Every structure is written in C-alpha cells, then in structure tokens.
C-alpha cells in the first residue's frame, strides 16, 4: 500500500475515534465498562475462501477501533452493555509462488515479476454486545458491515518504458467492495491496570461483489479502554 494512502486511512480512523470519544463519554466511571471505548491490537490473519490459494498464511497487521455505549448495566459484576463501534483493519500477505506464476502466464507485462504481495484494508460499523462475567472479565460479540479494499502489488525489475530499469514496482491492481464481519472475544481487566483491559478476539471478514472470493480470519491481541 502506498505510504500516502496508509497515512490517509490512519488519519481517517483517528478522526472517527476522536468523534466517538467526544460523544457521551464520561471521565469517571463506577463500572468497569465505560460509556465510551477505544482499542488497538496487533493481528495474525489467515486468508480463506478463494484467497486461500492466492496468499501464504501468516499475514501480520493491526486494527484500531472506538465507540460508545447505547445501554448501561446497573451492577459492576454482572449484566450486559450494548455498544456501537467503528473498526479499522489493515493486513498484508505474500502471494503464493503458484499464484504468481499463474498471473505472469496471463499478463505479459508481469513477465519480470519476482514476487508479489496482497494488502487488505477494512472499515466497518459494528453493534457490539458485552456480557459481564465478573469485575475483571467479560465476553462480547460484534458484527456489522463496511468497506473492503483489496490490493495486489507486483515487484521485479522492469525494462518497459517509461519505468526505469531499476524500478521494483511492476504494477498494482486494486478492488473495492462491501464487507461483512463477525467476531467474538474476551476482555480481561487486571486490577493494576485500572480501567484498561487486555483482549483476545477472533473475527471473520467476508467481501462482497468483486471481492466475494476474499475471506480473512484475523486473531487480535491488544488493549481496550
């Protein structure tokens, strides 16, 4: 992904988070589940569907999110809370050698390609249901719909004008579509961290239309407030 686009997506995500924090957010909370929430995590993802044959497993990336409570539980140790959250995901994979060979056979301008990578970006709006198990832990489920960007970049030495012979980029192809997502996870709040929670979350993203063959299964580990 070009660095300018990555900065643009990061700025967009930051603006969303600031807006969400400003809505219905209180500084002091008697309950562990705050009236607003922000999160950040590293992810390890696997491509599924048709992309299982296109990319190597083990893509690394990150996600960020934020939102606000639609309902509040009355007791600190049990009950449930509904949130409305916005989430951003970015992940990158190496293209399998077999898929690269097939692409070269079908497109002559890629004849000099020596490697390729795929990158995914997703922005989704997700209603989230949290079920409190104790003062320190809660389970949650979330799902929704949003936007998915799928990009493929080919690298190698190009001898085709106007690119320089030393150019490492041979071409880039991108597609945009809607995406459905669903996930569940566990929040754990150690006493020493105050209102900060550690969370683990598996999630599934499935593209629509032109990206209907793309399914991602990221596992996230991060922190949430």
Would you tell me how many other CB atoms lie within 10 Å of the CB of residue 145? Answer: 12
Dump pLDDT digits (tens) for 148-187: 999 998 887 655 555 445 556 667 889 999 999 999 999 9
pLDDT computed for residue 219 by the predictor: 95
Torsion of CA 19, 13, 205, 5, to 10 degrees: 150
- d(CA 29, CA 34) in angstroms, rounded, equals 6
- d(CA 84, CA 70) in angstroms, rounded, equals 7
Torsion of CA 201, 202, 203, 204, to 10 degrees: 180
pLDDT computed for residue 148 by the predictor: 98
CATH 2.40.160.20 matches 3-224: yes
Nearest-CA neighbor of 45 among 221, 185, 223?
221
- d(CA 5, CA 119) in angstroms, rounded, equals 12
Residue ranges per structural domain of the chain: 3-224
Write out the two tokens for 121. Answer: 């970006």
Summarize the confidence of residues 127-142 as an average pLDDT: 92
**Residue 27 DSSP symbol:** S
pTM across the whole model: 0.78
């Amino acid at each position: 992904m070009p660095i300018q686009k990555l900065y643009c997506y990061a700025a967009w995500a930051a603006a969303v988070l600031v807006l969400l924090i400003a809505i219905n957010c209180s500084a002091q909370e008697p309950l562990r589940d705050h009236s607003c929430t922000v999160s950040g995590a590293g992810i390890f993802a696997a491509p599924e569907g048709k992309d299982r044959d296109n990319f190597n497993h083990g893509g690394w990336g990150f996600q960020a999110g934020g939102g606000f409570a639609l309902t509040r539980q009355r007791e600190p140790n049990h009950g449930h809370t509904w949130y409305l959250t916005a989430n951003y995901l970015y992940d990158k994979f190496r293209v399998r050698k077999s898929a690269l060979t097939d692409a070269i056979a079908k497109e002559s301008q890629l004849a000099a390609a020596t490697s390729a990578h795929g990158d995914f970006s997703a922005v989704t709006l997700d209603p989230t249901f949290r079920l409190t198990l104790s003062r320190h832990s809660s389970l949650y489920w979330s799902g929704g719909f949003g936007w998915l960007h799928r990009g493929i970049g080919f690298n190698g030495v190009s001898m085709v004008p106007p690119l320089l012979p030393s150019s490492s980029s041979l071409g880039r192809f991108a597609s945009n579509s809607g995406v459905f997502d669903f996930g569940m996870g566990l929040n754990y709040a150690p006493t020493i961290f105050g209102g900060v929670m550690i969370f683990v979350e598996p999630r599934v993203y499935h593209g629509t239309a032109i990206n209907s063959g793309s399914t991602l299964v990221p596992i996230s580990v991060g922190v949430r407030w």
